[in-house]
């Protein structure tokens, strides 16, 4: 099922022509209306009239989160506030938040792109969708909401939190699709089990999850527990919110809405493009945004492009699931480690629960890492010998996956805080 079949199956040649035209008009827009970009382009002697091909984009400077923060709140807007009809902001966990705006047209585009992602994930007008993303400055709730209404589904704007109520609504309103973060989906699934509700008595068919990294093992766990088909979708507020990319039912990479976003993958150190299909940092240029266009925005998200074609028939390039952010990467004894790699190992070991926390501390000059993992009740109260065996197994598997040794601590079920939004997996004591 496609939302816009003609657009989603456009040929590469036509797409590139469209991207180039849209890039030119975006560059004109930012040059005319955003002093930051005009100054930058002038300093570098860039004449935007000279853009002959999509590759010429490499001559343009990158835009970083810091550039956006420096222009808090409205300095990067390309239209007067009078034309802005919606304002959102990123959570700003790592400093000042970034404020983003949308014109009426931007909202139309946004809901349309979210409708594509939802349709690719199996949603139709016959679905009853429970949106358990936070509604507010976060783009998740409202972003998905208008796309779901556009598809014509019945939308339950429940927002996140109050898990027992989520489940009651799910039962009473006959919810067929759940939309939230993967960690919240897992918490809902566990609560359903604890309440003794038979999952087959629910009506759930699909789950569309995003806004944080999750592993294939976690997908399997959620699919099994909720008896649904779960797809991954990606976006970020600086670029739009949800709707940038989403998986189809093949569940093998996320189709990027390339007619609206031009993507590059770069080596975050050299800033040069990586070889096709290699992992690097995703860089995005918006092609149609009016209020808040971004040029070569460094997302900090690590992924790789999948150049082969997809069985679903969509022609848009896929990206692999985002493995993590460059700023979440831990460097342990000189080795780069992502929380998602640790998650992958933990999910595969019998006796562990899918809840974990990674605590990073510094001992002398070295980073010291402890993985806290919940274990099932029977093991926790079991004899020491069994506990030790499990701990050794986890240590061994982590060492072989990561290439370095970490400490492991088994903790009782439910002792790690649950998340109703984006899970916080890493506790960094080094900064305190
Ligand atoms: O999380 C937008 C969103 C809402 C996407 C709902 C999907 C669904 P921000 O709060 O600005 O926006 O956070 C963006 O979250 O740069 C990634 O690091 C991470 N992220 C988002 N989606 C995924 C995903 C929204 N599917 C930041 N997999 C991004 C991994 C993701 N990480």
Whether residue 176 has its Cβ less than 6 Å from ligand 1: no
3 state SS of 262: strand
Pocket probe for ligand 1: among 146, 211, 298, the residue whose CB has the most ligand atoms within 8 Å is 211
Whether residue 133 has its Cβ less than 6 Å from ligand 1: yes
Buried b (16+ CB within 10 A) or exposed e, 81-114: eebbebbbbbeeeeeebbbbbbbeebbebbbbbb
- Please give the domain boundaries of the chain with CATH numbers for all domains: 1-326 (3.40.50.12780), 330-428 (3.30.300.30)
HSE-CB at 196 with a 13 A cutoff on CA atoms is 0
Task: Kindly state the tokens that stand for 343.
Answer: 């998650």
Note the pLDDT of residue 432.
52
Whether residue 211 has its Cβ less than 6 Å from ligand 1: yes
**pLDDT tens by residue, 310-366:** 999 999 999 999 999 988 888 777 788 889 889 989 988 988 888 999 998 888 777
CA dihedral of residues 314, 315, 317, 319 (deg, nearest 10) = 10
Note the pLDDT of residue 101.
98
Backbone angles phi, psi at 244, to 5 degrees: -75, -45
- Measured from the Cα of 138, ligand 1's closest atom is 10
Note the pLDDT of residue 364.
79
Note the pLDDT of residue 431.
65
Return the residue whose CA atom lies nearest to atom 9 of ligand 1.
236
**pLDDT tens by residue, 260-292:** 999 999 999 999 999 999 999 999 999 999 999
- Measured from the Cα of 91, ligand 1's closest atom is 10
Residue 156: is the preceding peptide bond cis (ω within 30°)? no
Give Rg (Cα) of the chain: 22
Return the residue whose CA atom lies nearest to atom 14 of ligand 1.
236
pTM of the predicted model as reported, rounded to 2 decimal places:
0.95
Q: Tell me the CA–centroid distance for residue 134 and ligand 1, in Å.
A: 13
Note the pLDDT of residue 365.
74
Backbone angles phi, psi at 81, to 5 degrees: -55, -30
- Strands 154-156 and 128-131, by their bridges, are parallel
- Which residue numbers in the chain have pLDDT < 50? none
């Amino acid at each position: 099922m496609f939302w816009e079949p003609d657009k989603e199956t456009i040929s590469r040649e036509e797409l590139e022509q469209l991207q180039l035209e849209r890039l030119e008009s975006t560059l004109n827009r930012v040059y005319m209306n955003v002093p930051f970009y005009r100054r930058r382009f002038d300093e570098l002697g860039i004449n935007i009239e000279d853009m002959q091909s999509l590759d010429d984009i490499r001559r343009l400077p990158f835009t970083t989160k810091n550039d956006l923060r420096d222009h808090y709140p409205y300095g990067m807007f390309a239209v007067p506030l009078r034309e802005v009809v919606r304002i959102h902001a990123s959570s700003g966990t790592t400093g000042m938040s970034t404020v983003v705006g949308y014109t009426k047209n931007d909202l139309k585009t946004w809901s349309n792109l979210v409708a594509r992602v939802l349709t690719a994930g199996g949603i139709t007008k016959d679905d009853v969708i429970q949106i358990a993303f936070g509604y507010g400055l976060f783009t998740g709730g409202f972003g998905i909401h208008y796309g779901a209404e556009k598809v014509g589904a019945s939308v339950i704007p429940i927002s996140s939190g109050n898990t027992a109520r989520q489940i009651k609504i799910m039962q009473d309103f006959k919810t067929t699709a759940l939309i939230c973060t993967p960690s919240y989906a897992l918490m809902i699934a566990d609560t359903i089990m604890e309440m003794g509700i038979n999952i087959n008595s629910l009506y759930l068919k699909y789950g569309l999850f995003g806004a944080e990294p999750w592993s294939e093992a976690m997908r399997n766990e959620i699919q099994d527990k909720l008896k649904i088909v779960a797809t991954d979708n990606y976006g970020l507020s600086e670029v739009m919110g949800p709707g940038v990319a989403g998986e189809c039912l093949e569940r093998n990479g996320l189709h990027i809405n390339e007619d609206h976003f031009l993507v590059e993958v770069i080596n975050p150190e050299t800033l040069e493009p990586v070889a096709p299909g290699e992992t690097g940092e995703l860089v995005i240029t918006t092609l149609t945004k009016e209020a808040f266009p971004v040029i070569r925005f460094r997302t900090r998200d690590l992924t790789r492009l999948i150049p082969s074609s997809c069985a679903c028939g969509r022609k848009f390039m896929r990206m692999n699931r985002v493995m993590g952010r460059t700023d979440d990467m831990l460097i342990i004894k000189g080795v780069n480690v992502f929380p998602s790699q640790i998650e992958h190992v933990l999910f595969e070991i019998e006796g562990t629960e899918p809840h974990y926390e990674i605590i990073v501390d510094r001992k002398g000059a070295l980073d010291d890492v402890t993985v806290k993992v919940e274990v099932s009740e029977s093991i926790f109260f079991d004899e020491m010998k069994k506990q030790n065996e499990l701990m050794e197994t986890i240590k061994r598997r982590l060492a072989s996956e990561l290439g370095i040794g970490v400490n492991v601590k088994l903790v009782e079920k439910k002792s790690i805080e649950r998340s109703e939004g984006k899970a916080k997996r890493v506790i960094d004591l080094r900064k305190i």
